[in-house]
Chains A and B, each alone.
Chain A
Amino acid sequence: MKERILIANRGEIAIRIMQACEALGLDHVVVYTPEDRYSMHVRMAAKAFQIASYKDPNDIFEVADHAKCTAIHPGYGFFSENFRFARRAAMRSRPVRFIGPRWEVIRDLGSKINTKKVAKDLGIPVIPGTDRPIYNEIEAEGIAEWLFLLQKEQGVTHPSILVKASAGGGGMGIEEVNHLNTFRRVYRRIQSYSKRQFGDEGVLIEQCLRDYHHLEVQLVCSQHSEISHFGTRNCTIQSTGRQKRVEVAPGFDPDYCTYPFNAQKVLERIVAYSVKMAKHVQYDNVGTWEWVVTRDGNPYLLEVNTRIQVENGISARIARIKGTDGYPNIVKEQIRVAFGDRLGYSQEDISFSGTSIELRIVAEDARRGFKPWCGAITRFAPYQADWVNVHTHIPPDLSYFIPTEYDPNLALAIIWGQNTAEAVERAHIFIKNTQIEGKDSHDQTIITNLPYLQEKLNDVLKF
Chain B
Amino acid sequence: MDIDLNALLETYRKNPFEDHVLQSVHTGIITFKVQEDQEVHGPEGKWHQKPGTLLYQLERENNIKKIYSPCSGTIIDLRRDLNGSFTEAGVDLMSIRHRLDKDEVIDRILRDVLILFTAPQRARYLLSPEFAVKIEKQGQPSIQPGDEPIIMSLMKRDTNLVYSSTPGVIYKVYFQQGALVEEGAPLLGICQEENLSYIQQVVNKIKTEWE
Contact = CB atoms under 8 A, between A and B. Distances in A.
Contact between A and B in the complex (any CB pair below 8 Å): yes
Interface of A: 33-34, 49-52, 56, 58-59, 61-63, 66, 371-372, 374, 404-408, 441
Contacts of B157: 371-372
Contact of A49 (B27, B121, B122): B27
Given A50-B91, A406-B155, A374 B60 contact: no
B156 interface: yes
27 contacts: A33-B89, A34-B90, A50-B89, A50-B91, A51-B26, A58-B61, A59-B26, A62-B28, A62-B60, A62-B61, A63-B27, A66-B86, A371-B157, A372-B154, A372-B155, A372-B157, A374-B121, A374-B154, A374-B155, A404-B122, A404-B154, A405-B180, A406-B155, A406-B156, A407-B155, A407-B156, A408-B155
A51 B180 CA distance: 16
A404 B27 contact: no
Given A33-B89, A405-B180, 15 more contacts: A33-B90, A52-B25, A52-B26, A52-B90, A58-B61, A59-B60, A61-B61, A62-B26, A62-B28, A62-B61, A66-B86, A372-B157, A405-B155, A406-B155, A406-B156
Q: List the 3 shortest-distance A-B pairs measured between CB atoms, nearest first.
A: A52-B89, A50-B88, A372-B155
Contacts of B63: 58
B173 interface: no
Interface residues of B, number: 21
B193 interface: no
B123 interface: yes
B37 interface: no
A404 B155 contact: yes
Contact of A58 (B26, B90, B91, B123): B26
B19 interface: no
Interface string B135-148: 00000000000000
A58 B60 contact: yes
A406 B180 CA distance: 13
Contacts of B180: 405
B183 interface: yes
A34 B89 CA distance: 9
Is chain B's interface secondary structure helix, strand, loop, or mixed overall?
loop
Most buried by B among A50, A61, A406: A50
Most buried by A among B28, B61, B123, B155: B155
Contacts of A34: 90
Most buried by A among B27, B60, B121, B123: B27
A407 B90 CA distance: 22
Contacts of A406: 155-156
B155 A51 contact: no
A12 B165 CA distance: 42
A56 B60 CA distance: 12
B45 to A, nearest CB: 28
A12 B28 CA distance: 27
Interface string B80-103: 000000101111000000000000
A57 to B, nearest CB: 9
Contacts of B123: 404
A371 B158 CA distance: 11
Nearest to A92: B61
Contacts of A404: 121-123, 154-155
B27 A51 contact: yes
Given A372-B154, A372-B155, A404-B154, A59 B27 contact: yes
B126 to A, nearest CB: 15
Given A62-B60, A404-B121, A49 B88 contact: yes
Given A58-B61, A59-B60, A404-B123, A52 B27 contact: yes
A408 B89 CA distance: 24
Contacts of B60: 58-59, 62
B88 A51 contact: yes
A437 B97 CA distance: 43
Interface in B149-172: 154-157
A192 to B, nearest CB: 16
A50 B90 contact: yes
B156 A59 contact: no
Nearest to B154: A404
B154 A62 contact: no
A49 to B, nearest CB: 5
B111 to A, nearest CB: 21
A125 to B, nearest CB: 33
Nearest to A442: B120
Given A49-B27, A404-B154, A406-B155, A59 B89 contact: yes
Interface string B120-131: 011100000000
